[in-house]
Amino acid sequence: MLNINDLHFRYGKRSPLVLDGVDLTLHDGEIGVVLGTNGSGKTTLFKNILGILRPESGSIRFDGEDLLKMKRSERARRIAYVPQSIHFGALSVFDTVLTGRVSYFGYKAGREDEEAVWRILRDMRLEHFAARNVEQLSGGERQKIAIARALAQEPRMLVFDEPTGNLDIANEQLILSEARRVAREKGIGILTSLHDFNQALELGDRFFFMKDGKIRHEGGRGIVTEDVIREIFDAEVRIVEIEGKKIVINGGGKT
């Protein structure tokens, strides 16, 4: 379980607070979606969780252990980052995924590292890609390799910054369903940010609406309402239910 308490962060000593008392809890196997306008602090929050940035105050714990005090390799076994795109030069898929094991093997990969990679590739139905050069794959395939590489860290949680940002609809669906499978089958928590409310509703278990460096609303699907979206995004939407599914329509009903 990830537990963030009263987190404060600013980029420079005299800069304004970008995170201004963030509280967030995410359980194992849950998918949490952070929603907020551009510049609301989502990426900054993720970088604090991943240890890329250090907070001014507050705590980030995983199963009660202080992530801020952990070595990089210890943190990597708990939380892995899935970047939007991976640029590793001309590595094969196998070697790219193997680099995810670096916190385990240090200098040279051993047999168990290679076996772990094969297990993940098989599990994600990527074995036939193993010898291919990552650079030659499509955007969706590369994103899937990025997930495989993160899983090679054997983390308890994945942080995904805008996983569908650069993808077409078929690849979007592929990645969303892969994310869901990882959470459901492996009990790995996922914290992500998405711009599309309908993708968010499809994927998320918990929603965190962020504004001005704070989580303003948090909860299950029920908190995704026209009023909350208006408050956070200053935008009018209409929410309808079709076949029991909540659908967000841009533009609202004020004609």
Where along the sequence are the contacts to ligand ADP (CB under 6 A)? 11, 18, 36, 38-44
CA angle 113, 117, 120 (to 5 degrees): 140
DSSP H/E element including 250: strand 245-250
**Minimum gap (Å) between residue 114 Cβ and ligand ADP:** 36
**Minimum gap (Å) between residue 236 Cβ and ligand ADP:** 21
* In the block, residue with structure tokens 């078929």: 170
Are residues 199 and 172 in contact, defined by beta-carbon separation less than 8 angstroms? yes
Nearer to ligand ADP, 41 or 55 (CB): 41
Are residues 83 and 161 in contact, defined by beta-carbon separation less than 8 angstroms? yes
Nearer to ligand ADP, 42 or 101 (CB): 42
Output b/e per residue, 46-58; b: 16+ Cβ within 10 A: bbbbbbebebeeb
Are residues 22 and 4 in contact, defined by beta-carbon separation less than 8 angstroms? yes
Q: What is the pairing mode between strands 31-35 and 79-82?
A: unpaired
**Minimum gap (Å) between residue 95 Cβ and ligand ADP:** 31
**Minimum gap (Å) between residue 47 Cβ and ligand ADP:** 8
Nearer to ligand ADP, 38 or 255 (CB): 38
**Minimum gap (Å) between residue 196 Cβ and ligand ADP:** 15
Nearer to ligand ADP, 62 or 209 (CB): 209
Nearer to ligand ADP, 42 or 75 (CB): 42
First vs last Cα of the chain: how many Å apart?
45
Nearer to ligand ADP, 45 or 182 (CB): 45
Side-chain-side CA neighbours of residue 217 (13 Å): 18
Nearer to ligand ADP, 29 or 165 (CB): 165
**Minimum gap (Å) between residue 79 Cβ and ligand ADP:** 17
**Minimum gap (Å) between residue 36 Cβ and ligand ADP:** 5
Q: Where are the alpha helices (DSSP H) in the chain?
A: 42-49, 72-76, 93-98, 102-105, 111-123, 139-152, 169-186, 197-203, 226-233
